[in-house]
Structure 1
Amino acid sequence: MFSEYLGIDSDYVIVGLAALVLILFIVTIVNIVQMSKLKKKYKKFMSGKDARTLEDVLKERLDEIDDLVASNKANKKNIEDIFATLRFTFQKLGLVKYDAFNEMGGKLSFSLAMLNERNDGYIINAMHSREGCYTYIKEIIDGNSIIALSEEEKEALEMAMKSKDE
């Protein structure tokens, strides 16, 4: 009756409904399998543990996280302190060896420039001769000296100032 009114053959309706039932049956089986897997995972998670021990485990993990956060803060402060200290340490070096009096050979004299991050520091100049070794020190402020520098000292200073850039 209804199928005659719409002009649809009842065989097509029955086949369509059977296909729909089959699809729903397959979807139901897939859902059952997924629920079974989920139940197994839940049982494995909860096995041997009651709510109290699970709560204790969670509290223990949270305490460990708190300890890690505190440790991280301490490490960060220590690193900041180290970097603050490093600004004043000698980080840049330049060394030039030379023969001061052209009589000894072996280039036993040297100029050593030692600078910090801001190019402040010292140049040590040691001149070696037959009579002895004479050592001088000159202060360097912002890459400059108020006392005139020898060629070797200038070279050592230039080498030191470029050493951090490389």
Structure 2
Amino acid sequence: MAATLAILALVVSLAALALSVRTATGARRSSGDDLPADAAGLRREVAALRAEAVGALRHLAVVRYDAFDEMGGRLSWSLALLDDAGDGVVLTSIRGRNEARTYAKSVAGWQSEQELSPEEAEAVAHARMARS
């Protein structure tokens, strides 16, 4: 279980790093001194911030389940991490009696080219309904 959590932490950290690099290269830094003083300027600033937030992973959902009959405690899980366009990743950890396996499937437009398990599809559906 500790190894699975470590792998999950690594994957999420790498995704956050990639997102922050993408944002840092295209984003404007605002110190507060350069904010517009007029309402029209503030509206443009808010619109720019909203446009930047579109790529943020804001639709998240976790589905926990028992992957095998002999296991209890719903130790397996699928986690959907998606942006407003439905692009992102579904991470799945399937816990067995003696091992755990972790999978990552890319998602674009709320769908994956790889076949999603029922639990992964459920995580994507819940993430899509999630309000940010």
From 85, 89, 105, the equivalent of 1:138 is 105
4+ residue stretches of structure 1 with deviation over 6 A? none
Larger radius of gyration: 1
Residues of 2 paired with 1:161 and 1:70: CA distance? 35
Matched, 1:90 2:90: no
Residues of 1 paired with 2:38 and 2:104: CA distance? 43
The alignment's TM-score, normalised by the length of structure 2, stands at 0.64
Residues of 2 paired with 1:81 and 1:70: CA distance? 13
From 96, 118, 137, the equivalent of 2:85 is 118
Please report how far the alpha carbon of residue 114 of structure 1 lies from its aligned counterpart in structure 2 after TM superposition. 1.4
Aligned partner of residue 52 in structure 2, secondary structure: helix
- Unmatched 5+ residue regions in structure 1? 1-66
The alignment's TM-score, normalised by the length of structure 1, stands at 0.52
Greater RCO (CA < 8 Å, at least 6 residues apart): 2
Q: For the aligned residues, what is the CA RMSD?
A: 2.5
Q: 1:130 to 1:82 in 2, by over 3 A?
A: same
Residues of 2 paired with 1:107 and 1:84: CA distance? 38
One-letter code of the match for 2:95?
A: H
Aligned partner of residue 47 in structure 2, secondary structure: helix
Alignment coverage as a number of residue pairs? 98
- Unmatched 5+ residue regions in structure 2? 1-32
The percent of aligned pairs where both chains have the same amino acid is 33
